[in-house]
Amino acid sequence: MTSNQQQLAKLEQHAKELAEQIKQLQDQLNNAQPTTGLLGRWAKHPEHGDVLIAEDWVTDANAIYVIHRNNNGDNGAQGHFADLDDLEFPDQTTRPQDVPVGEAWLVDADDGDYSTTNTPALKIDEGLWTSRGLSEWTDEEVELITPLIPARPQDTPETVTTQEEYGELPEGSIVAKPGENPWVHLPYMWVRDGNTRDNAGMAGTARQVLRHGWGTSPDNS
């Protein structure tokens, strides 16, 4: 082996070690829990589901005060201190395959023939994304940037039933009824699992509005 080859081998080994260190640091950053700017943020709790953070400080025991719906199912709320490590924030998702169906994200996407950057995309099915109805992408073709505003739970869910009510919802809206996958409002059509309907085809069935437009919760529309 020549001296140049030896030097190249050393550089390649060094580059490999640096790449591993970078990946470890990225994993640490992605998995680190936020410690500031928490007041008013929504998170997922393993027992209580959606919780609203009601304090902007973490105790010495790594706990923070959260509010959630009463466990008895009524419209009331209750609060308690939760371990910060038990909370999962929407922006902690790092893999497209971990994003639940119905969530909207800002993404980069590339299928080999066409690529796009910083575009809003919606996960419409397991392993399948759409960019405003113009393109479809698989999990492997999508790189997550940041989640758009998540839909928030409501005390009084909004429902739509008539053709006019469906037509008034902006593009990007999501509706569903119990037991069915969500319908997504794309230009001139509603889409679910590869099936399409117009507003007239959606009419006659009451569905809850899960999201208004691209990333706006119903109570903030």
pLDDT more than 90, % of the chain = 13
User: H or E element: which one contains 29?
Assistant: helix 3-31
Q: So what's the pLDDT on residue 220?
A: 45
Contact 124, 112 (CB under 8 A): no
Confidence (pTM): 0.37
Contact 102, 174 (CB under 8 A): yes
pLDDT tens per residue, range 129-178: 987 666 888 999 998 877 775 544 444 568 899 999 999 998 888 888 87
What's the chain's Rg over C-alpha atoms? 22
